[in-house]
Amino acid sequence: MEQSTVPQPAIDRVGPWLIILAVLAGILALTWDFLVSVLTVLFDPVFLSGFALTMLQAAVASTVGGGIGVGIAELALKSKRCTQSTIRFLRLGMWLPFFVAWAAPIWWIRWGEVLQAPLWAERILRVVIAISPNVIFAGCYYHLSARYILQLNQRSALSVIASSILLQAVLFSFLAQVFLYRDGWQWFPYPGHAWMARPVATILLVGGFLLLLQRITGNDFEKTAEMTSIATVRQLRDSNWITFLAAGILWFLCFAFWDRFYVFLRDFFAIAPFGW
């Protein structure tokens, strides 16, 4: 076949690009004010430090709580019965500390003034203390799921457990900011001009962080979905009356612990909703 030697007019190639550029310019002109507001928020040192503190709180809680949780899980793995019962209990039991913390959030630490801890350390500790029990339970559950139910080796399990724990910690640390008022990261919309700028900036920052986490651990949606489903199905198959009773005992022990230490916790952490 003979190829055409007639050169195409340049306008044919440039034309669509000009239209796209014109549309983009139109969108940019219409949203210019909003984009400037988002950029202003993104370069606001207070907003950025709030984000950094939130992620730091999640990272510290994941390291400390996750470490303890994995340690407990390793002990539970020594007995098959114990492992099955703990998994059955933790499936919903890992949310127990969240419900307790939600009912009694920590706004300031009573001993913070006595120790004269710097403000940033107190801000981190407040959230870390509140979410750590949850992260411990979650760490224990994810470790048992990965090692016992999914039979993953130590190396493969590590990335799965780490990303699951960190995601959970980010969620709780993020929610806890609402209770910290002016000391927390104010990611929520603000009344006034361009009040959507803060949430959009939050999506960009947290989305970037989660994308980075995904790239480092290599756990994407598909992989996590497959593992969660396999774990759910195997859990259902393995559950019996013995694990049910044992999980019931663990629930009872947790409630007893809650009842016994409630007064101590209440006195240890002062709750002052309108004190600031």
Partner 1 sequence: MIRASYRLLTTGSMIANMESTLWHDVAVSAQEITEGLLVSGVLAFIAVRVLRAAAGLRLRVSWLFVFGNTLPIVVAIMLMPWLGVNHWLRAVIVGAVSFLPFAQSLWGLRDQAVVSRILLALDNALPYAFVGMLFGELWAATAGLGFFLVVARALGNRTEALATSLITLGLMLSVSFTLRFVIRRLCRSEIEKLAAVTEMH
Token code pair at residue 121: 């350390």
The whole-angstrom separation of Cα 147 and Cα 77 is 8
Per CB under 8 A, 273 contacts partner 1: yes
Nearest-angstrom CA–CA distance, 55 and 209? 9
Number of residues binding to partner 1, judged by CB under 8 A? 52
Please tell me whether residue 253 binds partner 1 under the rule CB under 8 A. Answer: no
Q: Which of 68, 77, 129, 210 binds partner 1 (CB under 8 A)?
A: 210
Interatomic CA distance for residues 23 and 108, integer angstroms = 51
Task: For residue 98, give the nearest of 125, 73, 133 by alpha carbon.
Answer: 133
Candidate list 152, 190, 214, 270; residue touching partner 1; CB under 8 A = 214
Minimal distance in Å, beta carbon 6 to partner 1? 35
Q: Does 267 bind partner 1 (CB under 8 A)?
A: no
Sole window of 15-23, 39-47, 64-72, 232-240 interacting with partner 1 (rule: CB under 8 A): 232-240
Buried b (16+ CB within 10 A) or exposed e, 79-108: eeebbbbbbbbbbebbebbbebbeeebbbb
Kindly tell me which residue out of 59, 158, 171, 246 binds partner 1, with binding defined by CB under 8 A.
171
Report 117-146 residues binding partner 1 (CB under 8 A).
none
Q: Is 214 left (phi over 0), alpha (psi -120 to 50) or beta?
A: alpha
Positions touching partner 1 (CB under 8 A) are: 92, 95-96, 98-100, 102-105, 167, 170-171, 174-175, 178, 187-189, 196, 199-200, 202-203, 206-207, 210-211, 214, 219-222, 224-230, 232-234, 236-237, 258-259, 262, 266, 271, 273-274
